[in-house]
Structure 1
């Protein structure tokens, strides 16, 4: 048991309020299930203090509940090892926030650790660490967060990065990922959305960093307006192309479905139904579920 007020946080992080309230409620109801982990240090006045390695949420919950002391595992490690242990604890949690993983891996890399060592310290596979480091080197924070949230696979993100800044190359990479089976269904939609945000807002999320505001001038307003006009024109052009392709598909389906042999083949293969959206266009007066 050590005094709560004698603990200094080594690697502080932001916490979701709802999750924190759940921690407080759990400790109030059933007590502390797992002690925090600290390492002893001498304070400036020569008093005994501790650096927190893991358990910031539990410690803050104890403070909220008015507790003066908290159960703790006390280990004797250097500042460097304490920092690494703190990062590893955060990354290895079952429910970590994607940006915490990013910051943790980034910190370990900046401290000179290679992917094999990072893998050993965090419990992540070498392949995953390698992929994260590649995305970090390219500043692909948006893709990283999408990967860690499970929206797109890491292999697909690396394929997209291979396209560089060339929009056509990125689209080809996306097509390759789809054809190779790396992206399917909802993941393909998410990948397109991330790529659009990446194109318009940049690869980095900023993470709260302040950005210098540029002075607004007549010329800058005209450039911004022209850029928006060009973007709108491109959207209209893409919509027209998509509409033409849909009309072609509808016309082709009408001709094919008028062929009795083709219809029999579809029935034999169990493909004799159409999505309502498409059926209403193939046969305007009727629809097939």
Structure 2
């Protein structure tokens, strides 16, 4: 009987079962295959489908465009991008897009604030109008702006073939990006914190600058970055009111079309790749700034 008890005690630390070694230590995954492990709700099939779809829709066209732009080698690509007309088109595009992004950051945040914090007749209609540029063909916006601010302007404001006209057209199509980025974040802002600041003697500007703005900063930065990236590649809304004047109002998208029309597709592809690089770099920088602002906001809580 003592022998039986001793045998049972000796075997008490031994556990059998799948995934457990005789020494009662779980098996470790092989180091070489650890990167293949997938966790989440969709599983490997969902991830594979996502990667495949993004490759077909995004990566393959961008790869083909980049390959086509380098058909004449690096020197041919550089000559196409640094041609005086191409540089002027890129300069006008970036300059106008920066102005549009800054304007929409201020006006989009203000509009989002009004839609969230104020009640007035027709608020639902105004809220629906914000999304109109998403649904409206951009060429229609160019026709409307030309009729309103063109040579026969009924309000006697002539912006045809001017850079301010480009700013107005691009501001129209990019405004929703800022408003729709800021609006949901502003809805979630805790009003009790603002009321506590006001009870401690803080004025409206101090409350907004010290409490509300840090919370909205990531959304404002993201919305401004999306507005800039959209303005960089916009074509339809500026095609009529811009006038397409080289070195003055010709944006990069119009220059690309011009190169295709004169049978220079490689030059058009090279400038397109330059636009992609500018948009990607700006979005990457703004994404990093947005994440940094979000981390600071979390640390301050």
TM-score (norm. length: structure 1):
0.23
Using structure 2 for the length normalisation, give the TM-score: 0.23
Q: State the structure with bigger RCO (CA 8 A, min sep 6), 1 or 2.
A: 2
Q: 1 or 2, which has the higher helix percentage? A: 2
